[in-house]
Amino acid sequence: MMVQRSFAGKLDPDDVVRSVKTSARLNIDSEIFRQSFDHEPFGFTHNLSSLDLFSYDSLLGLAESFHGSPRDYFIAGSALSPGTQFYSVPNGGMRPREALENLDRVRCRVLLKRPEDHNARFRDLLETLFQQVVDLWGGLGNERVERLESAILISSCSTTTPVHFDPEIGFFSQIEGEKFYHVYPPACSSEAELERFYIRGRVDIGSVDIKGLDPAREHVFTLGPGRGLHQPQNAPHWVQTGRSRSVSYTFVFQTDASYTRGRTRAFNYCLRRFGLSPSRLGEHAGLDAAKASAMRAAAPIQFTGRVYNKARRVLAGRRLSRS
Ligand SMILES: [Fe+2]
């Protein structure tokens, strides 16, 4: 990053914030975005690897700031295979800085959640990049952002993250090292898997049976510094790191429309439990809305993730018209 330094060699905080806002960039083809956003994965390039807030020294300091916030990090070992059950992999036992300092000796994956809550420069980065996506989208239309947050993933070499899906729309950027990212369109997830997930009403990962995924629809992205990918909501994926440690940054978001789809699926889950065969989400818009309303009244979704209020205020309140 082109961090401007004062003559004394100290960082000027205003310059640092300005430099993140002006230089961080995702290079996404607008036509590919228009064709594929939120239903087919696609790759892009970015310049985040050059930002000094991702230097390993900076990350060590950031990791230490997470020690008092155990809900904000997750440390796990490598899965034996991509089809391993996600939470069957041993996890915990170390604090983030300790894990980062021992990546060469202890094979593990460190997830630092919501760095924007720990460091204002990551808040600026998140706002900057999300605005770029909103601009590509042509504004938010009538949708309101309910959740927007980022994460940093730091992993040892040769680790495997088992298959799962996430209930958010994501933009994933590789900062350091190599990653082999296997991702499928969300249409590859079964309705039964999705309904089973959304009835739980939690921010979490969704379970996927890897044997049910169509290999013909798999995208494999070989990511290095400066490369990234868009991951649609509910897109099954599994990931392996290469021969050196890996640092990645991702940001994800959900809108009120995606919450509504989740509630419709939760309602369908209940119908199936009563032995009925519900119409598939998207077949009858009015019925979908009625199901979501009923579900909202019966069991409001309690999301444990913190709503990113500033972005919600700044971005969601705009009601921009979508092109
Ligand atoms: Fe994921």
pLDDT in tens, the chain (323 residues): 333 333 333 445 555 555 667 689 999 999 999 999 999 999 999 999 999 999 999 999 999 999 999 999 999 998 888 988 888 887 878 999 999 999 999 999 999 999 999 999 999 999 999 999 999 999 888 889 999 999 999 999 999 999 999 999 999 999 999 999 999 999 998 888 888 888 877 767 888 889 999 999 999 999 999 999 999 999 999 999 999 999 999 999 999 988 888 889 888 888 888 888 888 888 888 888 888 888 887 765 443 333 334 434 434 443 333 32
- If we measure between CA atoms, which residue out of 73, 52, 44, 133 comes closest to residue 311? 133
Ligand 1 centroid, distance to 275 Cα (angstroms):
32
Ligand 1 centroid, distance to 164 Cα (angstroms):
6
pLDDT for the residue numbered 322: 32
Domain for residue 208, yes or no? Answer: no
What is the total count of domains within the chain?
1
pLDDT for the residue numbered 154: 97
Domain for residue 293, yes or no? Answer: no
pLDDT for the residue numbered 98: 95
Alpha carbons 62 and 113: distance in angstroms, whole number: 11
pLDDT for the residue numbered 160: 94
Phi, psi of 256 (to 5 degrees): -60, -30
Ligand 1 centroid, distance to 159 Cα (angstroms):
14
Domain for residue 83, yes or no? Answer: yes
SS3 content of the chain, % helix, strand, coil (to 5): 40, 25, 40
Full domain range(s) for residue 104: 17-189+213-255
Alpha carbons 87 and 279: distance in angstroms, whole number: 32
Domain for residue 160, yes or no? Answer: yes
Torsion of CA 198, 204, 205, 209, to 10 degrees: -50
pLDDT for the residue numbered 236: 95
Alpha carbons 140 and 316: distance in angstroms, whole number: 7
- If we measure between CA atoms, which residue out of 50, 51, 249 comes closest to residue 152? 249
Ligand 1 centroid, distance to 250 Cα (angstroms):
10
Domain for residue 234, yes or no? Answer: yes
Specify the CATH number for the domain of residue 165: 2.60.120.650
Domain for residue 261, yes or no? Answer: no
- Pairing assessment for the beta strands 109-113 and 145-155 based on DSSP bridges: antiparallel
Alpha carbons 300 and 295: distance in angstroms, whole number: 7
Domain for residue 267, yes or no? Answer: no
- Which one-letter amino acid corresponds to residue 122? F
- Tokens at 83, concatenated: 């089809």
Ligand 1 centroid, distance to 88 Cα (angstroms):
16
Domain for residue 275, yes or no? Answer: no
Measured between alpha carbons, how far is residue 156 from residues 55, 78, 152, 172, 316 in Å?
A: 16, 9, 14, 18, 37
Q: What is the pTM of this model?
A: 0.83
Alpha carbons 12 and 24: distance in angstroms, whole number: 18
Ligand 1 centroid, distance to 59 Cα (angstroms):
21
Max CA pair span of the chain: 73
Length of the chain: 323
Ligand 1 centroid, distance to 226 Cα (angstroms):
19
Ligand 1 centroid, distance to 237 Cα (angstroms):
7
